[in-house]
Chains A and B, each alone.
Chain A
Amino acid sequence: MKEVILVLASFAASLVEMVEALTIVLAVGITKGWKTAMAATATALGVLAAIIILFGPLISKMPLPLLRVIVGTLLLVFGLQWLRKAILRASGWKALHDEEQIFQDEVAALGGIAAVSRIDGAGFAVAFKGVLLEGLEVAFIVVTFGATQHRVGLAALGAASAAVLVVLIGFVVHRPLSKIPENALKMVVGVLLTSFGMFWAAEGLNARWPGGDVALLGIIVWIGLTTGALIVLLRTKRVAVTT
């Protein structure tokens, strides 16, 4: 069961981040040429691979209780960030992530459509930064999530599947993927990261969960219900403020 959740969480997290990265790469490709966009993407992916190769085995060698406390704390903080943003968006307090708008903004910032055949410095920097920063979040989730269960390969499989899917769709449509329910995915990942973070960090700190590993399912349900309740609460508050 934990393995299925692991793959799903890695897949969903990667899907969200890769859609964001694809939007930036498409904007650079259309405005500054595909050579620039591809070179920047390949370089950023190389840097990401180096980070995973360097830190993956290092994390896996830590004693398990210490690993659980460190990774659990990081996942909890990270998951709460995602959850906070997703709740604010779902309740109308923050604008929804609009890939179409981001795409148009990036195109405008890069000086409109005027593709060139050589590698463009500014375009390279924008695409490299976009892929690296979005990819870092995926790498972080894959390495920490996978390492704690000694299943980095399985987590990487989830991430790679999402990458293939996004690249294929991007290749076919050549437009930002605005139809993906990004906020809902972000919320699901936020719930999972927060739940895993709570479970592992508390276990590493000597707290004994009732029912052992099964408690994880209970935590996921609890955080899911809390998220739903907070959305309802904030929607009500927003209606009261605006009327």
Chain B
Amino acid sequence: MSEKKSFWLKKVYDALFEFFIGDDWVLALGAVMVLGLTALVSNVIVSWWVVILGVPLVLWYSLRRAT
């Protein structure tokens, strides 16, 4: 791959990362994990509380890392 092409690919990757993931990738990963857990348990138990408790917990953890 030419140097120019890889430069632009990196630029696009960085822009997409910044747009969707932002400053803290742990926050995005945590949110996806909470939803994954919700999907896992939703056919077994009442699962809305997983999202209700999980999302604030992930946000708190991300803020704790930043401060």
Contact = CB atoms under 8 A, between A and B. Distances in A.
Nearest to A206: B42
Contacts of B9: none
A84 B43 contact: no
Q: Which of A74, A202, A209 has the most CB of B within 10 A?
A: A202
Interface residues on A, range: 35 or more
Contacts of B43: 206
Contacts of B22: 81, 84
B23 A207 contact: no
Contacts of A207: 38, 42, 46-48, 50-51
Interface string B23-46: 110011001100100110011001
B52 to A, nearest CB: 7
A78 B20 CA distance: 6
B35 A136 contact: no
Contacts of B67: 88, 93, 234, 237-238
A201 B52 contact: no
Interface stretch (A32-40, A41-49, A115-123, A215-223): A215-223
A202 B47 contact: yes
Given A87-B63, A202-B35, A76 B48 contact: no
Nearest to A82: B22
A186 B59 CA distance: 16
B59 A80 contact: yes
B51 A201 contact: yes
A83 interface: yes
Contacts of B55: 76, 80, 194, 198, 223
A202 B27 contact: no
Interface in A190-218: 194, 198, 201-202, 205-210, 215
Given A77-B31, A202-B38, A136 B19 contact: yes
A88 B39 contact: no
Interface of B: 19-24, 27-28, 31-32, 35, 38-39, 42-43, 46-48, 50-52, 55-56, 58-60, 62-63, 66-67
| The 10 nearest A-B residue pairs measured at CB | A81-B22, A206-B42, A205-B39, A226-B56, A207-B47, A202-B51, A207-B48, A77-B28, A207-B42, A198-B51
Interface of A: 69, 72-74, 76-78, 80-81, 83-85, 87-88, 93, 136-137, 194, 198, 201-202, 205-210, 215, 219, 222-223, 226, 230, 234, 237-238
17 contacts: A69-B35, A73-B31, A74-B20, A77-B27, A77-B32, A80-B58, A81-B22, A84-B66, A88-B67, A93-B66, A137-B19, A202-B38, A202-B47, A207-B42, A215-B48, A222-B52, A237-B67
